[in-house]
């Protein structure tokens, strides 16, 4: 356990708080974390603090009345089970065991578990946040209807483990700076090729789902009717 707050309760955890363009939620979350770091020297102090002080420190993040007690409870549960807040032992467990250990705590889902594994323990896990979920759906890296939980498993299969760290940060950056939730800047130079490819994929989809079935029906439904591209 380090003397200052790291991203998760381990020594040496890295933070990723310095993206140049952030939406309001990102900014408020980062402000809350910075406020927590300023006011509490380490995670033991967060665990043992007056609950009201934690809620006040993270108020800008929103839902502080829920998040504050939840953070403290997870810290208490880890301490009760392990005798300390050092998560270094997770480095020696098989990945899925380490993930399952983290996810048994109330409030820790696949994203939080993957963030701790990747950023604090340098384990090969791929966190899917709101930006990654949106962008991977738009560019067709995953089926649109897939849940965010399912997206974690799929994207971990798509990217090679050594690319998780860079892919995570770069897709978030793409989502924040160009492929924004409300107004994606598809005209941006970076996206010109993407946009063309997406149009081709859409045309192909229209052909397969509408044009081909019509041609097939016109030909009397014979099996050797025009084949899709
Ligand atoms: S072209 Fe670029 S901005 Fe538009 S949806 Fe695709 S990735 Fe997002």
Mean pLDDT of the 209-216 span? 67
Please check whether residues 81 and 181 belong to one and the same domain. Answer: no
In order of 171, 176, 193, 197, the CA distances from 139 in angstroms are 11, 15, 11, 9
Domain count, the chain: 3
pLDDT on residue 120: 94
The closest-lying atom of ligand 1 relative to the alpha carbon of residue 139 is 6
Most confident of 27-41, 83-97, 192-206: 83-97
Q: How far apart (Å, rounded) are the C-alpha atoms in residues 23 and 14? A: 21
CA 1 to centroid of chain Cα atoms = 25
Q: How far is the CA of 170 from the centre of ligand 1 (A)?
A: 14
Compare 199 and 88 and report the one with higher pLDDT.
88
Determine contact, residues 204/51, Cβ cutoff 8 Å: no
Q: What pLDDT digit, counting tens, does each position of 94-126 carry? A: 999 999 999 999 999 999 999 999 999 999 999
Read off the pLDDT band of 144 (50, 70, 90): confident
Q: Is 185 in the pocket of ligand 1 (CB under 6 A)?
A: yes
Catalytic residue among 67, 104, 106, 111: 111
Distance from C-alpha of 182 to C-alpha of 15, rounded to nearest angstrom: 27
Quick check: CB of 178 below 6 Å from ligand 1? yes
Domain that holds residue 116: 1-121
Q: How sure is the predictor about 208, in pLDDT bands with cuts at 50, 70 and 90?
A: low
Q: Which of 95, 177, 168 is nearest to 133 (CA)?
A: 168
**145 noted as active-site residue:** no
One-character DSSP codes across 18-61: --SS--HHHHHHHHHHHHHHHH-SSHHHHHHS-HHHHHHHTGGG
Residue 160: CATH number of its domain: 1.10.1670.10
Of 172, 183, 186, 189, the one to substitute when testing ligand 1's pocket (max ligand atoms within 8 A of C-beta) is 186
Residues 70 and 89 placed together within one structural domain of the fold: yes
pLDDT digits over 9-55, tens only? 543 333 333 344 456 777 888 899 999 999 999 999 999 999 999 99
Shared domain for 29 and 92, answered yes or no, is: yes
- Whether residues 30 and 65 share a domain: the answer is yes
Same domain for 70 and 176?
Answer: no
pLDDT over 50 (residue 229)? no
Considering the domain architecture, whether residues 4 and 91 belong to the same structural domain is answered as yes
- Protein residue closest via CA to atom 8 of ligand 1: 179
My answer on whether 35 and 140 are in the same domain is no
CATH of the domain at 23: 1.10.340.30
Q: What is the pLDDT of residue 205?
A: 67
Domain-ending residue, one of 121, 150, 165: 121
**Ligand 1 atom at shortest distance from the alpha carbon of 190:** 2
């Amino acid at each position: 356990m380090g003397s200052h707050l790291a991203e998760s309760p381990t020594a040496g955890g890295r933070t990723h708080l310095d993206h140049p363009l952030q939406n309001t939620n990102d900014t408020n979350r980062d402000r809350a974390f910075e406020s927590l770091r300023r006011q509490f020297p380490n995670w033991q102090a967060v665990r043992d603090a007056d609950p009201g002080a934690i809620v006040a420190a993270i108020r800008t993040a929103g839902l502080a009345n829920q998040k504050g007690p939840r953070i403290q409870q997870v810290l208490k549960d880890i301490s009760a089970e392990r005798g300390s807040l050092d998560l270094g032992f997770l480095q020696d467990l098989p990945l899925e065991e380490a993930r399952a250990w983290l996810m048994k705590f109330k409030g820790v889902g696949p994203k939080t578990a993957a963030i701790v594994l990747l950023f604090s323990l340098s384990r090969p896990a791929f966190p899917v946040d709101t930006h990654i979920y949106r962008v991977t759906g738009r560019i067709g890296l995953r089926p649109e209807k897939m849940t965010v939980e399912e997206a974690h498993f799929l994207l971990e299969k798509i990217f090679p483990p050594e690319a998780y760290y860079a892919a995570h940060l770069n897709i978030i950056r793409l989502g924040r700076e160009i492929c924004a939730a409300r107004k994606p800047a598809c005209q941006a130079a970076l996206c010109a090729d993407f946009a063309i490819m997406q149009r081709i994929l859409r045309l192909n989809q229209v052909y397969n789902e509408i044009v081909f079935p019509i041609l097939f029906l016109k030909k009397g439904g014979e099996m050797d009717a025009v084949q899709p591209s």
